[in-house]
Structure 1
Amino acid sequence: MVDTAARTRRAGARNDLVTQLLGIWLLLAVFLDGWAHMHLPGLETFFTPWHAALYSGLVATAVWTASVIWRNRQPGRPLTRAIPAGYQGTVIGLALFAVAGVLDLAWHEILGIEVSLDALVSPTHLLLGFSLFLILGTGIRSGRAASGSEAFKWTPPAVLSLALMTGLGAFFLIYCSAFVRTPPAVPYLQTPIGSPGHTQAELPPALGLASYLMTTALIIAPFLYTLSGARRPPHGIATILVAVVAWLPLAMSGLRPAAVAGAAGATAAAVVTDVLLARRAGPWLRRRLPAATAILAALIWTGQLAGIAVASSIQWPVSMWLGAVVLSAGLAAALAFLSSWNTKSVPGPTVLRYQA
């Protein structure tokens, strides 16, 4: 029987869900602020409606977290012992966010407002991002604490937590998103090596290929994480991950027809993948994990390319766009292989195993 003290150290699925719903507020405010910086030039002040949306979300999350801790307290015990399992990181994230907000205000007052790529790599903004990452991860940490030694169950708060953290990653990596850049829709001028202008001609498609690899990793890494300690990934996880990685950055940067069609094609491919995964048992997926993730990546990018072809046209030669799909599939398989490396000796049915 679980003692009362152990029970009170857990927040509960309902509290976790409220925390993650507040996380939606925070993440949407981040993208809204990014949209303002991209589409409203001349923002030269820290005090904007979009910052207000973000920091009011922080206050709401802080008040809610404090209420959870207060209701979890026990007579005669320190208040710090009332922090539910998994919420220690939330408290740290809230405190760091407040500190980073003050530092960000001082940064802007001294050095001015960033207007481009520098805004995404500003140290104070990165600290804000790390703080948000801790806050948005509450559902997963709490769920893992509740599962104990049993197989981890992907409850709605945990799935939402993973989606929000992935969306935050997509925000900070928007400059290398294959959904935003749509590289194959950009004309490619084949210039022989050594000829004048070769470097300038090769740079955009090279960045495009790199964006495919980065975006693939951003989707596949959390997908693989869903198999960590769990019997099978949650239903619909491929669609959820593709949706947050594709559509949130597109809504922020601009809904260009080719990009929208590509994202729609990739999302449709993810839905097909989820249907196929739902028909297979968890052990089957683990035994064939590298192949499964390679197929997932190949389907996503084939769907994107099909969407771009319908809405616009593919400007890359077949060797380029097909090579991007193959490279992405290879990276996905490599990540899956590494995630299951040297785990055969670990007992239990939930361990990732690789079978050639």
Structure 2
Amino acid sequence: MGFAEKVMNDLGGAMASVLAALGVRLGLFGALAGGPATAKELAGRAELAERYVREWLWGLHSAGYLEFDPGSERFTLPPERAAVLADERSPLCLAPAYGLVPPLAGMLDEVAEAFRTGQGIPHEEYPDGLYRAMERMSASWLDTMLVEQWLPAVPGLTEALERGGKAADVGSGSGRAVLAMAQRFPGSEFTGYDLHKPNVDRAAAAAADAGLNGRVRFEATDATTGLAGPLDLVTMFDVLHDAPDPPALLAAAHRALEPSGGVLLVLESNAAADAQDNRGAPGTILYATSTLYCVPSALADGGPALGTLGLPFAELAELAGRAGFASTEEIPLRSPMNALYLLRP
């Protein structure tokens, strides 16, 4: 009975996640963050049908997301919950993560077949909604932490970029990290490398819109052979564990870095040294993402498919040492999901 209760709670969480994904897509959390509302009032704010909104409200009230006042018949999203569900400028915002649920669940047939055959699933077979959700997730920390906290945590790095340095982002996606750094350091040059051509096209368009084309470029190039130095900074954000050849990618970064002061920043999942210690909600979320996306797509690229939690500190340090790096250290983060590492040549 105790385990049956756990399963019921997990199923309830899965259903709540789908309702939350719907709420994020329709702007319901943002509308409710504006103040308490009845179903009719919230439907008016969001320009939606009241009957649907009412059922959504009761569903997430049942899940413990919302509060309800019987006297006024109004639902409330308290400010501390709004910071997690409605404010994408907040470093604690988890709303974009709900966007992973529908596209990953929609790939169950393909993943089940991959289980039977052992084959991978190419990136292009996943729906575009998955990549949009990933971009929004990364934006929650790139926009609030990268230039304000992570780069200043490396002694001398911001000064080098302010003087006019050169940096590269490997697996640059739609260019969020590159654009954030380029805007902060107008005297430096930045290059983004990504194997997925649609990502490069989106990033180039974003750079043009931001007026950064003169010192920002994006290339649909394999960084293991195309990374050009000498560079003051190379970044790999949630990239290395999915790479077709992680040792070769680290070796390429080592060759490209300026020997006396260049650094490599690697963001990876916060993985325990022993897989059995990756427990609880963070481990479940990351292993599910790994099963449904990271392992299949990495296998399709011919990679070792390390998995989302496949690079704990000791494993990364060992790979870095073999690639020629002299030191690997962790930069403290207040995050249950991510770990940031600093590698020096």
Structure 1 and Structure 2 fold alike (TM over 0.5): no
For normalisation by structure 1, the TM-score amounts to 0.36
Greater percentage in strand: 2
TM-score (norm 2): 0.36
Q: Return the structure number with greater helix share.
A: 1
